[in-house]
Amino acid sequence: MANKTPPAASAPLHGPAGKNLVAESTTLAAGDTIIVQNNGDTVIHVFGTLGGTGTVHALNAANNLAITINTGPNLFGPYDPSVFGSSFTITTATATGSVALYHIPARKPNPLCNPFETNSAAPDSP
């Protein structure tokens, strides 16, 4: 039951070349606490080797979230800083594996979009 602080989220989760989510460098044991620096675009990648559960702790305990960590890649977040704070923790109960933080790049506008499209699900919506 140790505190784990993965390196800051400096790498984007996705880009033109794509991202293959595999085991990360920060190991995670059952009962560990993950400390996350949260700026609103941070995603937590947990690569589970043994599935289990965990809790994302909010500023107000009534807003805590129960999570299920499966074997293989799991993505959690991003989390709203007004609810979870600029730093929050995730505690694991039984899951093991590895963890890393990524940031989600800002969405770029689609230059081929139809500005008159009203269906937000349409491929040419702004």
Q: Is residue 43 part of a domain?
A: yes
Neighbours of 11 (CB within 10 A): 12
Say if 13 falls within a structural domain.
Answer: yes
- 46 inside domain: yes
Task: Measure the CA–CA gap between 63 and 120, rounded to whole angstroms.
Answer: 29
The residue range of the domain holding 69 is: 3-103
CATH of residue 50: 2.60.120
In the predicted model, what is the mean pLDDT of the chain?
83
d(CA 46, CA 27): 10
Domain annotation covers residue 55? yes
In angstroms, the CA 54 to CA 17 distance is: 31
Give pTM, 2 decimals. 0.77
- Pick the closest to residue 78 from 105, 41, 47 (CA basis): 41
Give domain status of residue 125, yes or no: no
Count how many domains the chain has.
1
- Mean pLDDT is lowest, of 14-28, 62-76, 91-105, 112-126, for 112-126
- 57 has a pLDDT exceeding 90: yes
Phi, psi of 83 (to 5 degrees): -100, -40
How far is Cα 102 from Cα 13, in angstroms, rounded to an integer?
5
Q: What pLDDT does 91 receive?
A: 92
User: Is residue 111 in a domain?
Assistant: no
Tokens representing residue 123 in the block: 């491929």
Residues 6+ apart with CB under 8 A from 18: none
